[in-house]
Amino acid sequence: MKISRRVAPLAALLALGACASRQQAPAATAATSAQAAAPVMQSAEGGFSVAIPTPVSEEHRSQATEVGEVTLHTFIAVRPEADTAYYVSYTDFPPAAVSRADPRDVVARASHGALEALGATGLSSRPLMLDGFPGWEVEGVSGPRHLRGRFFLVGPRLYQQLLLHPEGKPPQDAEAFFESFKLDPQVTAMLTGARRS
């Protein structure tokens, strides 16, 4: 199964970062927001929680892929004063299509597709796991911006978590953003049941 890069509209994330760089806030505001802990957002439908700055914009968009039409659910937060954007999404693929694919291959392809969609040069990539589910982490550089992303496949659902910031200036909450991502066990059970059907 191939994951189309159209499933990850990262150009929108890059555009948000560009807008953020044109809306610089005073230095005091930047320091204050960087020190504040991000609130935890929960998505009952998405089956996850994550610490992400507010406000968070949410969008649902239908996308045509090689395995049929899917819906991309995205959550984006921007810190204009730090020229930083946070992105979380999930997409449900047809269970039959996913069952024929190697999950490790799916997440690796998704991560490389994210780099390609942003025109980024890859710096590193590595496999990882989340609650026993395969994942992949990738880092890259696109012009003056640094991209870090994590991708997980849970049954037929692909989760994406991305952070875009100026090169050499990661936000203080970068690790907290990635490490705070948690799956809802009830939704996980439903998704893995769907994969077996």
Residue 123 lies in a domain: yes
In which domain, by residue range, is 44 found?
A: 5-22+39-196
Kindly report the CATH number assigned to the domain that includes residue 74.
3.40.1000.10
> Residues with Cβ < 8 Å from 177, sequence gap 6 or more?
38, 50, 51, 52, 86, 161, 163, 171
Reduced to 3 states (helix: H, G, I; strand: E, B; else coil), residue 95 is helix
* DSSP 8-state assignment for residue 17: H
Name the DSSP letter for residue 37. Answer: P
Condensed to tens digits (0 to 9), the pLDDT of residues 143-190 reads 899 999 999 999 999 999 999 999 999 999 999 999 999 999 999 999
Per the prediction, the chain carries an average pLDDT of: 81
| 78 within a domain of the structure (yes/no) | yes
Q: How many domains does the chain have?
A: 1
Q: Is residue 135 part of a domain?
A: yes
Tokens matching residue 21: 């760089």
Contact 140, 118 (CB under 8 A): yes
pTM beyond 0.85:
no
Does 30 map to a domain?
no
Query: Does position 1 have pLDDT exceeding 70, yes or no?
Result: no
Inter-CA distances, 9 with 4, 12, 162, 184, 189, Å: 10, 6, 12, 25, 28
Q: Is residue 28 part of a domain?
A: no
Domain membership of residue 16 (yes or no) is yes
Q: Per the domain annotation, does 31 fall within a domain? A: no
pLDDT digits (tens, 9 = 90+) for 3-55: 443 344 444 444 433 333 333 333 333 333 444 578 999 999 999 999 999 99
pLDDT digits (tens, 9 = 90+) for 101-144: 888 888 888 888 888 888 888 999 999 999 999 999 999 999 89
Please indicate, yes or no, if residue 27 is contained in any of the structural domains: no
